Structure 1
Amino acid sequence: MPAPSAEPGTPRPRPVTVVLTKAGRTKIRYPAEPVRDDGTRITVRAPWAAPEARDFGFVRFEPGDVLTEHYWRDQWYAVKEVRAGDGGLKGWYCDITRPAVLVDGVLTVEDLDLDLWVSADGSSVLRLDEDEFAASGLAGRDPGAAGAATAALDELERLARTQGPSGLKDLLT
């Protein structure tokens, strides 16, 4: 999903800084190229932010990978399309988060521990980190947020299982 072409002489959009927080602390902070912002969904593109590879067992993220990240101001998730350096699609990593906030070029998202992985061919749909979510105590501290988080994970999983990768692709168009 390329960014719309700018007219000659039109300034390029300023880079965005993505700040992912967890339990009140900054988990990671990295620059990203803005792709689109329709007022509800913010899309940015960024290289894999860690200097080394990370093998999750079901996918390996490595330097050279490019993530096109979709964040919503009104949804409790972020969907990240993961491509290898050669452009091949690895799949989609879905973070369950509070709705995103963009202020002065800083896109802040609170990670709520739950995740979903969908492989490029749709053969693998994995719910992740449910133990971390339970251990976080969010259900006791903020039952509304915990309910929204589990409902978001259930919805993304339902889309992936019933419609395959096209369910996520439709969400992103």
Structure 2
Amino acid sequence: MSANSADRVRPLEVVLVKAGRTKIRYGAELLSDDGTRITVRAPWSGAGVRDFGFVRFEPGDVFTEYYWRDRWYAVKEVRDAGGALKGWYCDVTRPATLSGAELVVEDLDLDLWRSADGSDVRRLDEDEFAQSGLAARDPRAAAAAVTALDELEALATADKGLESLLA
């Protein structure tokens, strides 16, 4: 299925699950689905401003989010209200599932940020991942998560690495 044309863009809900519970649910527009990669666009869904120190997410920000059915991560391109690129926020997740109007993604705690100019690439939440107990509960998933974070970091530090992934 492909939803590349404007008349085929349709609403859906992104459901982010963490440790078996829904962490957040938000509305988005399905932009495309080629059978492997699902692309959606959504406004910042948080309440107010979320300042991480290295980036601020705020009302008006727009996220173009890329999910895969065969990869252990999602990549979110973040732009401000004026369209200027802030950077990419990458979540390590189990492969995504799309069922009807719900895109379900299981967050595995590890994240990566890459600023728009590439000068800031940082691994995030490795402490949360270690404390999650995933390595003991599901060693295969934990290994896949670490491999995914390493792959994202390699892409983020390569010239046009993330951009080529999303083209």
Q: Secondary structure, in 3 states, of the residue corresponding to 1:15? A: strand
2:126 corresponds in structure 1 to 130
Match of 2:164 in 1: 170
- Counterparts of 1:113-128 in structure 2, within 5 Å, are 113-128=109-124
Residue deviations 1:55-77, cap 9 Å, x none?
00110000000000000000000
Gaps of 5+ in 2: none
How far, CA to CA, are the matches of 1:168 and 1:93 in structure 2? 11
Match of 2:58, as an amino acid?
E
| Alignment partner, residue 36 of structure 1 | 32
Output one character per residue of 1:93-138: Cα deviation in whole Å (capped at 9) or x when no partner: 0000000000011000000000000000000000000000000000
Q: Which residue of 2 aligns with 1:83?
A: 79
| Other structure's SS at 1:75 match | coil
Hey, what's the Cα distance between the residues in 1 that align with 2:30 and 2:44? 15
For 1:171, the aligned partner's letter is L
Q: CA deviation at 1:50?
A: 1.1
Counterpart of 2:10 in 1: which secondary structure? coil
d(CA) in 2 for partners of 1:89, 1:121: 9
Distance in 2, Cα, partners of 1:43 & 1:169 = 14
Aligned equivalents of 2:10 and 2:30: distance in 1?
A: 7
Number of the residue aligned with 1:155: 151
User: 4+ runs of 1 displaced by more than 4 Å?
Assistant: none
1:5 aligns with 2:1: no
Tell me the TM-score normalised to structure 2 length: 0.96
Q: Give me the whole-angstrom Cα distance separating, in 1, the residues matched to 2:5 and 2:72.
A: 30
Distance 1:159 1:12, change over 3 A: closer
Amino acid corresponding to residue 72 of structure 1 in structure 2: W
Instruction: Report the Cα distance in structure 2 between the residues aligned to 1:5 and 1:75, rounded to whole angstroms.
Output: 25
Question: What CA distance in whole angstroms lies between the structure 2 residues aligned with 1:23 and 1:58?
Answer: 26
Cα distance in 2 for residues equivalent to 1:19 and 1:128: 21
In structure 2, distance between residues paired with 1:112 and 1:5: 32
Name the stretch that deviates more: 13-22 or 103-112: 13-22
Looking at structure 2, the residues matched to 5 and 98 of structure 1 have their Cα atoms a distance apart, in angstroms, of: 28
* Cross-structure match for 1:72: 68
Cα distance in 2, alignment partners of residues 104 and 5 from structure 1:
19
